[in-house]
Chain A
């Protein structure tokens, strides 16, 4: 078993894609514009503090997953000069093995157990090492969790949270890079959240844990180590963000760009570039994939008349497809250009760094899409 663990660890620490250091610098630079920021915390810390506070407040909340206890989480990625906190760090020591449960390797098994526990008064947080492995448990997530309140006529509630990193990391190949956002979001009975910043991570996780319905909480491995400024309000133990509400990260009037998770950072970077060309993009951080904040998105498109959707997942039936359909159905006459969808390539994720870069949306792709939506002439293909 340790052989497998160290392999997974090595895979996730393998040097990041070329875009990463630029992103981090850009994000940090932009964040310094927030004048109300009093403290910077990493997403990982934000998640850890949310888990800690909710476990302290409610004795029925408990965490279960592979490596969450003794090992304190699989994502203790160590960069030089950067003391990084694993997501479940310290929780075992504080709450004991009854509330931080190390599970054997069976996603289907421990997901079923989590659902059973939640049916009878406990509030489990089931951690998947990545959502790729959650596919082995998908029957329990859909058939046992999502549908149970309905099929039991409200007699069996399932207040469970499924969380873990979703999507590509850096150089981990096809079976470790799948995005599941659109699969879970097509299911009635589930709520699906995708935080971006530390504020998102804290607020949404706390709400998810308190929510009476099953929530799929899609984190991002590459964001764990990112720092974001947080106000005192965010650090308060009662801080919660509502489910179903998106956030306008940056206001604009020329084109709406929707994104979630890591892509919000890319969209913001693209907006910066577009500003130099006198195009003001409005960047929307979805935060909630199901339910989607359709009214906020539609209001924005009514203002800008142009839409670009960004996601890392496969293009067919993606989140962008649903957003596009919603906007076309409700505000067809407000659209001045066809909707542009930016997504990952329609192929299993390749491993080689250059191929991986080409298979994922890059900031330049978002910029080009926005220009196309605004009828500025651009080549549609990337240059290698």
Chain B
């Protein structure tokens, strides 16, 4: 009688391409990234960093109600996006705006959503950072944790039935893997044999819960095998490693019509959100260490600059450019009109039901009767 041990003793090794100083590790096999893609990836990571810094401050100034940064996870964001095709459907959790950035969402579009103005694609219905874009194949961010996982399996089922040359990519954090939906999604995706890539951003913290209190397994990668899913552990702060693993995962998922699990190890440098102060539950030097010594952006920069594809001048010019663009976008977004009040009633159903038509009419009459009580920056 032999009980299989609760732990295999050895941790699953982590795939890396670049060392901490941005040099390719001797003997590592990886697909090369050309200058165009590398520079685009790097500049995307810098843009995301600047976006996070400035929009976080904007919340602190009381100009938007909420914000959530991806600081420390820029490599996962941009490198995974770069490895996908525009036809691949993305179901995010909420810490992946870099994927949308890569696909062409502009700073103005991000700002519009955060300010909930008339140009917001979400028609002012969502909190900030709940981006969504049909034309970019990026599902609208939904707050409940891990609900996107079984939905992703469902979307993948649809792709499989259509025999599309595309896959689904869905993201979650370490905390999200504790949800029942994680179990159901992985189990189902394996049983239904659908092309979906589950990317877990294991960043060490689920708000104030460290991974030591989240699970007893060797992280998330070991769970894949329990469901019959091919899995890999990757250094999430190594842009090239993330790029390579997602590229391979995508090919496998589509050619073999099977799900893949990728655990990307990283660290959540920022607070969980603007509603959190993480210094209350973790050491400040721990945060500092990951912010400086283990920064994925500077690590990739070293490699890109080492290839002669980027210079310090490029850096300062690019950063000041993006900062300026973003500040302008924010000014514009703040000044823009709010969404019209008609948006309160539409899209509850495909067609407005009679009770809502009646309520809208009744509201219109009330506004006409008391125009002085109606805010001037909200169109009808």
* Chain A residues at the B interface, C-beta cutoff of 8 Å: 98, 101, 103-104, 106, 108-122, 124, 139-140, 143-144, 148-157, 188-189, 191, 211-213, 244, 291
Contacts and interface: CB of A to CB of B under 8 A. Distances in A.
B151 interface: yes
B132 A155 contact: yes
Contacts of B346: 154
A332 B181 CA distance: 48
B155 A152 contact: no
22 contacts: A98-B161, A104-B187, A111-B150, A112-B151, A113-B188, A116-B154, A117-B154, A117-B155, A117-B158, A119-B139, A120-B155, A122-B158, A124-B154, A149-B347, A149-B348, A151-B130, A152-B140, A153-B125, A154-B123, A155-B133, A191-B349, A244-B353
Interface in B124-156: 125-126, 130, 132-134, 139-140, 142, 144, 147-156
Interface of B: 89, 91, 120-123, 125-126, 130, 132-134, 139-140, 142, 144, 147-159, 161-162, 180-181, 183-185, 187-188, 191-192, 343, 346-350, 353-355
Contacts of A153: 120-123, 125, 132, 343, 347
Contacts of B162: 121
B158 A109 contact: no
Contacts of B185: 109, 112-113
A103 B161 contact: no
From B123, B142, B157, name the one whose CB has the most chain A CB atoms within 10 angstroms.
B157
Nearest to B353: A291
From B154, B343, B348, name the one whose CB has the most chain A CB atoms within 10 angstroms.
B154
Contacts of B187: 104, 106, 109
A113 B150 contact: yes
A244 B352 CA distance: 13
B347 A150 contact: yes
From B162, B192, B347, B353, name the one whose CB has the most chain A CB atoms within 10 angstroms.
B347
Contact of B355 (A104, A150, A157, A291): A291
Contacts of A120: 89, 154-155, 158-159
A335 B259 CA distance: 62
Contacts of A157: 350
Contacts of A150: 125, 347-348
A372 B142 CA distance: 50
Nearest to A211: B350
Contacts of B126: 151
A244 B154 CA distance: 30
Contact of A117 (B125, B147, B157, B348): B157
A155 B349 contact: no
B191 A104 contact: yes
B140 A151 contact: yes
Given A115-B154, A154-B346, A212-B350, 9 more contacts: A104-B187, A106-B188, A113-B154, A120-B154, A152-B132, A153-B120, A153-B125, A155-B134, A213-B349
A55 B149 CA distance: 27
Contacts of B158: 116-117, 120-122
Nearest to A136: B180
Nearest to A112: B150
Contacts of B139: 119, 152, 156
Contacts of A114: 154
A212 B346 CA distance: 14
A189 B349 contact: yes
A211 B89 CA distance: 25
A118 B157 CA distance: 10
A212 B351 CA distance: 9
B3 to A, nearest CB: 24
B192 A151 contact: no
Contacts of B183: 106, 109
B344 to A, nearest CB: 10
B240 to A, nearest CB: 31
A181 to B, nearest CB: 18
Given A112-B184, A150-B125, A156 B132 contact: yes
A188 B161 CA distance: 31
A189 B348 contact: yes
Contacts of A144: 142, 144, 147, 151
A113 B159 contact: no
A254 B187 CA distance: 58
A108 B184 contact: yes
Contacts of B134: 155-156
Nearest to B154: A116
B345 to A, nearest CB: 10
B122 A152 contact: yes
B184 A119 contact: no
Contacts of B123: 153-154
B157 A149 contact: no
B184 A143 contact: no
B348 A139 contact: no
A104 B348 CA distance: 32
A153 B340 CA distance: 13
A339 B346 CA distance: 34
B188 to A, nearest CB: 6
Report, nearest first, the 9 A-B pairs whose CB atoms are least far apart: A109-B184, A116-B154, A112-B150, A116-B151, A117-B154, A113-B154, A153-B123, A212-B350, A106-B184
Nearest to A142: B144
Contacts of A104: 184, 187-188, 191
Contact of B157 (A122, A148, A191, A244): A122
A108 B154 contact: no
B180 to A, nearest CB: 5
Contacts of A140: 147, 150
A103 B180 CA distance: 16
Nearest to A113: B154
A360 B283 CA distance: 60
B181 A109 contact: yes
A110 B184 CA distance: 8
B140 to A, nearest CB: 4
